[in-house]
C-alpha cells in the first residue's frame, strides 16, 4: 500500500473543504436550519406526533440523511471530476498507486466531510428540538455506511460526467426526489397503501428508516432489511467502481 499517496490525496481533498468552508459546511447547515423553521416550527406545531415522537424531532434523522446523501455525492463527484476537467488527473494516473488507493483517498475525504457535516447538523437540530439517540453505535454505523456508499456513488458520477451539466443532473433529477420521497418528512405508514408499495422501491427509504430507528426505535421497515439494502447498494457501487478501473472507462484513453 502506498499510504503516503492516500494521505496526499486525502489531505488535498480536505484542504479543498477548508478553502470552500462557506459552501461545503455553512450552506448545508443554514438550509437545514431553514427546514427546521419551516417544517419543525411552523408546520410541525400543527402536527401533533408521528408514532409517538414530536414532528420536529421526527424529521431530524431524515434531514441529516438528506444532507449526507447530497453532500457525499456532490463532494465525491466534484473531487474526481475536477482533475479530469482541468487535466491534473494525469498525475494521479501516472503515480505508483493502485485504483483502490485512489478510491480510499477521494471517497474517504468525501465521506469524512459528509459525516462531519451530518454531526454538525445533528448538533444544530439539538438547538431546535430535544434529541435522544437510542442506539448511538448503530446511528454511527448507518451514518458512515451511507456516507461511504453515496461518496462512491458520487465518485462514479464524477467519472461518468463529461460536462458540468451531467455532474448536476443525477443529483438534481434522481437523488433529490428520491430523498424527499424517501420518508424524510413523513412516515411511510402515513401513505395510502398503493403509494406505500411504490415507495418501498426507493432505496433511500431503507437508509432513512434504519437511521431513524437508531434514534427513536421506530422504523418503516425492519432494521435488518435497512442494513441489508444499504450494504447491497454499497456492494453495487463497489462493483461499478471496480469495473471502471479495470477498463479505464472515461479515465484512460
Partner 1 sequence: MSPIISVSNLSKVYGSGFKALNNINLDIRRGEIFALLGPNGAGKTTLISIICGIANPSEGNVSVDGHDIIKSYRAARSMIGLVPQELHTDSFESVWATVSFSRGLFGKPKNPAHIEKVLKDLSLWEKKDSKIITLSGGMKRRVMIAKALSHEPQILFLDEPTAGVDVELRKGMWEVVRTLRDAGVTIILTTHYIEEAEEMADRIGVINKGEIILVEDKAKLMEKLGRKQLKLHLAHRIDAVPPALAPYHLVLSEGGTELVYDYDTAGERTGITSLLGDLRNAGIRFSDLETSQSSLEDIFVSLVRAP
Across 44-83, b (16+ Cβ under 10 Å) vs e yields beeeeebeebbbbbbbbbbbbbbbbbbbbbbbbbbbbbeb
Contact call for residues 13 and 82 (beta carbons, < 8 A):
no
Q: Which stretch binds partner 1 (CB under 8 A): 4-12, 117-125, 225-233, 236-244?
A: 4-12
- Shortest Å, Cβ 3 to partner 1: 8
Q: Which is nearer to partner 1, 15 or 190 (CB)?
A: 15
- Shortest Å, Cβ 97 to partner 1: 7
Continuous H helices in 129-222: 136-160, 164-170, 176-180, 193-199, 203-216
Query: Under the criterion CB under 8 A, does residue 175 sit at the interface with partner 1?
Result: no
Nearest alpha-carbon partner for 96 in 22, 201, 6, 216:
6
Q: Which is nearer to partner 1, 102 or 205 (CB)?
A: 102
* CA–CA distance, 16 with 34 (Å, rounded to integer): 26
> Of residues 86-105, which lie at the interface with partner 1 (CB under 8 A)?
86-88, 90-98
> Of residues 35-64, which lie at the interface with partner 1 (CB under 8 A)?
none
Task: Spell out the residues 6+ positions from residue 107 whose beta carbon is closer than 8 angstroms to its own.
Answer: 76, 148, 151, 152, 155
Q: Which is nearer to partner 1, 9 or 145 (CB)?
A: 9
Q: Which stretch binds partner 1 (CB under 8 A): 10-18, 30-38, 188-196, 207-215?
A: 10-18
> Of residues 231-250, which lie at the interface with partner 1 (CB under 8 A)?
248
What sign does the CA torsion over 64, 33, 124, 12 have? positive
- Shortest Å, Cβ 1 to partner 1: 9
Q: Which is nearer to partner 1, 99 or 166 (CB)?
A: 99
State the residues that interact with partner 1 by CB under 8 A: 2-5, 7-9, 11-12, 15, 19, 86-88, 90-98, 248, 252-253
Amino acid at each position: 500500500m502506498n499510504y503516503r499517496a492516500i494521505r496526499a490525496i486525502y489531505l488535498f481533498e480536505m484542504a479543498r473543504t477548508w478553502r470552500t468552508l462557506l459552501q461545503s459546511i455553512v450552506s448545508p447547515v443554514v438550509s437545514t436550519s431553514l427546514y427546521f423553521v419551516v417544517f419543525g416550527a411552523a408546520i410541525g406545531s400543527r402536527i401533533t406526533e408521528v408514532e409517538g415522537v414530536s414532528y420536529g424531532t421526527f424529521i431530524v434523522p431524515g434531514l441529516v440523511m438528506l444532507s449526507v446523501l447530497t453532500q457525499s455525492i456532490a463532494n465525491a463527484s466534484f473531487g474526481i471530476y475536477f482533475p479530469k476537467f482541468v487535466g491534473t488527473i494525469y498525475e494521479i494516473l501516472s503515480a505508483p498507486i493502485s485504483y483502490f488507493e485512489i478510491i480510499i483517498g477521494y471517497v474517504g475525504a468525501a465521506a469524512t466531510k459528509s459525516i462531519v457535516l451530518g454531526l454538525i447538523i445533528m448538533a444544530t437540530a439539538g438547538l431546535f428540538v430535544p434529541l435522544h439517540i437510542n442506539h448511538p453505535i448503530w446511528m454511527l454505523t448507518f451514518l458512515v455506511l451511507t456516507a461511504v456508499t453515496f461518496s462512491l456513488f458520487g465518485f462514479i458520477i464524477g467519472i461518468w460526467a463529461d460536462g458540468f451539466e451531467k455532474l448536476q443532473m443525477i443529483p438534481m433529477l434522481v437523488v433529490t426526489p428520491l430523498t424527499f420521497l424517501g420518508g424524510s418528512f413523513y412516515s411511510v405508514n402515513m401513505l395510502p397503501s398503493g403509494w406505500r408499495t411504490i415507495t418501498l422501491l426507493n432505496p433511500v427509504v431503507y437508509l432513512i428508516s434504519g437511521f431513524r430507528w437508531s434514534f427513536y426505535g421506530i422504523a418503516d421497515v425492519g432494521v435488518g432489511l435497512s442494513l441489508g439494502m444499504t450494504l447491497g447498494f454499497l456492494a453495487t457501487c463497489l462493483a461499478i467502481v471496480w469495473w471502471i478501473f479495470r477498463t479505464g472507462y472515461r479515465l484512460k484513453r
